[in-house]
Amino acid sequence: MPIAVLVGGEELHNNHHAFPTSARFSMRAGEFDIGWFYIRALHALGLCRIARVAPVPQLAPEPRAVDIDTLRAVLQNRMHVLRDYSRRVTLPVLRMERRARRGDVLLRSAARLLRRWPGKMDEASRQRLARILDSSPLLRTVTEYRAQLMQVWQQANVSNERLVADLRDWCARAEASGIAVLEEFSARLRGYLPQTAAR
């Protein structure tokens, strides 16, 4: 966004919270990060060293069995996983619902609401989202699956074995859901590979 020049890339602050030790705030094309430009310039002049940037997700060519490496990769890439979920599951299901219910005004503002986490919404937005989900069992299902996936990395004081079992269970249920885009996403999730931070 043009305002990034004035605020030094701070509009990408959520990226920073997802990867707090990364020298680069930008994660994808179109994200303007003036701070990264200055860091790269100083690095080129030998005036600074870039210690770490956020990892770029690495995927195996085929889905793998869910194990500790899969869990580690999902935890490392949780921001990418959630963005991928919106792009590959939530929004395609919403488009399908819009085609089936042409002219339904309730679905007009749904994309923005479905991508946000309810805990970050005001009361009016939460009520509007509740009405949308009440009107569409399919959207409710994929929204619940997203919340359940997030629970995997939000649990505290849980052993790695339990987290692996929870992720394995989530993938099994997703792949038996009968929702094609959710099944495909689960197979993709099982392809995530752990990595060290890119340099």
Q: Are 172 and 183 in contact (CB under 8 A)?
A: no
The yes-or-no verdict on residue 18 having pLDDT over 80 is: no
Query: Pick the residue with more confidence: 196 or 188?
Result: 188
pLDDT confidence of residue 26: 73
Q: Mean pLDDT, to the nearest integer, of 63-75?
A: 94
Mapped onto helix, strand or coil, the DSSP state of residue 19 is coil
Opening angle at CA 33, ends 27 and 36, nearest 5:
95
Query: Pick the residue with more confidence: 50 or 69?
Result: 69
The yes-or-no verdict on residue 177 having pLDDT over 60 is: yes
pLDDT confidence of residue 4: 56
Phi, psi of 192 (to 5 degrees): -65, 135
Exposure pattern of 37-76 as b/e (b: 16+ CB <10 Å)? eebeeeeeeeeeeeeebbbebeeeeebbebeeebbbbbeb
The rounded percent of the chain whose pLDDT value lies above 70 is 86
Q: Mean pLDDT, to the nearest integer, of 121-145?
A: 92
Q: What is the pTM of this model?
A: 0.78
Alpha helices in 155-196 (DSSP H): 160-175, 180-189
Q: Mean pLDDT, to the nearest integer, of 1-24?
A: 63
Q: With bands split at pLDDT 50, 70 and 90, how would you rate the model's confidence at 8?
A: low
The yes-or-no verdict on residue 157 having pLDDT over 80 is: yes
pLDDT confidence of residue 66: 96
CB atoms inside a 10 Å sphere around CB 164: 18
Task: For residue 141, give the nearest of 108, 96, 109 by alpha carbon.
Answer: 96
pLDDT confidence of residue 37: 80
Look at the block and give the residue holding tokens 């885009």.
181
Q: Are 159 and 35 in contact (CB under 8 A)?
A: no
Q: With bands split at pLDDT 50, 70 and 90, how would you rate the model's confidence at 62?
A: very high
Rounded-to-integer distance, Cα 129 and Cα 119, Å: 12
Q: Are 89 and 178 in contact (CB under 8 A)?
A: no
pLDDT confidence of residue 122: 86
